[in-house]
Amino acid sequence: MIALSIGLVYLWFGGLKFIPDMSPAQDLAIDTIRQLTFNLIPPKTSLFLLALWEVSVGVMLILNKFIRVVILIALLHMVCTFTPLLFFPDLAFARPPLGYTLLGQYIFKNIIIIAALVTLYKLSAKGVKPISLF
């Protein structure tokens, strides 16, 4: 159920990024990717690629396909979601280092997803397959 749950979140959040101004994280995602890539990727392209990445991870987790590779890709993504804390601390912290804004809380809660992904990865190494609806 963990892979399915995370897959649904990835699918939903990624899908919203395909629709202009639908994702509440759109501007933050664009600004973060701009910083990470030294402004080499145009904003619309970066948002499209992120949406594609997130939807692909979601679908693969839901379908239980290429699970170990997908988990590693998701972990890379999750690590990147923390970079706005470094790039835009004024947006993430009301009272640094412990007083988060709503945006900061939105980012920090990803630690739960990271823990779940690491657990899934360890289970898959032991041959345990996540529950799949398909």
Phi, psi of 42 (to 5 degrees): -60, 150
Signed CA dihedral, 120, 125, 126, 128: sign only: positive
Q: Structure pTM?
A: 0.92
- Position 133 scores a pLDDT of 67
Q: Which residues contact 40 (CB under 8 A, 6 or more apart)?
A: none
Question: pLDDT tens, 46-96?
Answer: 999 999 999 999 999 999 999 999 999 999 999 999 999 999 999 999 998
Identify which of 28, 30, 32 has the alpha carbon closest to the alpha carbon of residue 47. Answer: 30
- Position 86 scores a pLDDT of 95
Q: What is the mean pLDDT of residues 97-116?
A: 94
